[in-house]
Amino acid sequence: MNANLNPLYYLKKIVSPLDPWLLGILAVLLGFAYVLMMSASPERLESHTLNLVVALLAMWVVASIPPQRLSSLALPLYVVGVLLLVAVATVGEVSKGAQRWLNIGIMRIQPSELMKIAMPLMLAWYFQKREGSLRFYDFVAAIVLLGVPLALIAKQPDLGTAILVLGAGFFVIFFAGLSWKLIVPVSILGVVAIIGIISYETQICAPGVEWPGLREYQKHRVCTLLDPSSDPLGKGFHTIQSTIAVGSGGIVGKGWRQGTQTHLDFLPERHTDFILAVLSEEFGLVGVGVLIVLYLLLLARGFAIALNATTMFARLLAGAITMNFFTYAFVNMGMVSGILPVVGVPLPLVSYGGTALVTLCIGMGLLMSIQRQRVRLSE
């Protein structure tokens, strides 16, 4: 029988771009997410399934593109992303007090999402071009490249996306060799600022006190994080209800679809930003532990791909994507447990939402592309 007519031949061609380890971990994670969605928001299962199909197709397409081709797309994607962000700032649509959307006729798009992928691609390409001759001013230029879209996103304002874009860019710069002499002072200033906010909460959170660079609602988010009871039916409601759900689950939880905070509608955004609270209430510490183990396995595989990558571009890109996945998980878990402000970052690969799911799966596709290139060269 001709090999080209054998169904197994075509199946092998289809799955060849996919890394089996990443694919296995993703399959378990997405199945886990599906079970949670059936409890948190069963009416959204159909649209969630459609989002998942689109995301997995995007992952496969990206995984099929060689890293050198991806490298050639870095600069055009970055330039297009920045131009779209400028367009948002000038003619973008305002929704719920934020100017984040751009109407292109047939649909509305959120260009800031593009920068989650374009930013690490651009900086990895930039440092690849300067491999072996990096100077201090190269890092300054990289920070400027990161700062331009970051400022445009923060202006919208979209703090959650700004954090993720900042993380994606910073990790590339860090892995490229950013000196600890620059990192440590900034870290110390950050710790001092946090201690100062906690120590002088009463004074700086008083009505009428303005925080430089932040809007009133952003200040309010931080202040209600420090004392959710100061606005229990407003900004503090999310934090109070999510921590109740997390704590009430105990060790093994109340059982699937048995969560009272979830099914009595006390828990807001239970299918998106606060789906971890649903998991905690219904499956307890055991369920959260299983999710964390799956995340750790995914991170371990991502770092293994980064360490074994064949070029500087691939190493930086794989390392940044892996660490950005960690940022997603850390920020969301911090929000739900009440140790970080609510900034609208979803639980990666679990929360409902097509845009975030597609973005994350494209990141997985980039990792698979890098791993596929290494396997080909070693054969």
Q: pLDDT tens-digit profile of 137-146?
A: 899 999 999 9
pLDDT above 80 for 13: no
Q: What percent of the chain has pLDDT over 70?
A: 94
pLDDT value for 142: 94
pLDDT above 90 for 194: no
Cα–Cα dist 96/112, whole Å: 17
pLDDT value for 12: 72
Q: What is the mean pLDDT of residues 360-371?
A: 94
For 301, the domain range is 19-64+228-379
pLDDT value for 218: 72
pLDDT value for 9: 64
Q: Which residues contact 122 (CB under 8 A, 6 or more apart)?
A: 74, 75, 77, 78, 145
Residue 123 lies in a domain: no
Q: What is the mean pLDDT of residues 328-346?
A: 88
Q: pLDDT band at residue 55, thresholds of 50, 70 and 90? A: very high
Residue 10 lies in a domain: no
Which tokens in the block code for residue 130? 């300067």
pLDDT above 90 for 225: no
61 against 186, higher pLDDT: 61
Helix (H, G, I), strand (E, B) or coil at 130: coil
Number of domain units in the chain = 1
pLDDT above 50 for 1: no
Residue 31 lies in a domain: yes
Residue 360 lies in a domain: yes
Residue 213 lies in a domain: no
Cα–Cα dist 219/203, whole Å: 13
Residue 191 lies in a domain: no
Residue 269 lies in a domain: yes
Model pLDDT for residues 85-114, shown as the tens digit of each residue: 999 888 888 776 678 888 776 667 788 888
Q: By the 8 A CB rule, do 345 and 160 touch?
A: yes
Model pLDDT for residues 260-310, shown as the tens digit of each residue: 888 888 888 888 889 999 999 999 999 999 999 999 999 999 999 999 998
pLDDT value for 10: 64
Residue 125 lies in a domain: no
Cα–Cα dist 63/60, whole Å: 5
Query: Any idea of the CA torsion for 80, 81, 82, 88, to the nearest 10 degrees?
Result: 110
Cα–Cα dist 150/158, whole Å: 10
pLDDT above 80 for 326: yes
Cα–Cα dist 224/239, whole Å: 8
pLDDT above 90 for 223: no
Beta strand pairing call for 108-109 and 98-103: antiparallel
Model pLDDT for residues 121-137, shown as the tens digit of each residue: 999 999 999 887 888 88
**Tell me, what amino acid is at 10?**
Y
Q: How far is CA 149 from the centre of its chain?
A: 16
Cα–Cα dist 128/312, whole Å: 6
φ, ψ for residue 271 (rounded to 5)?
A: -95, -10
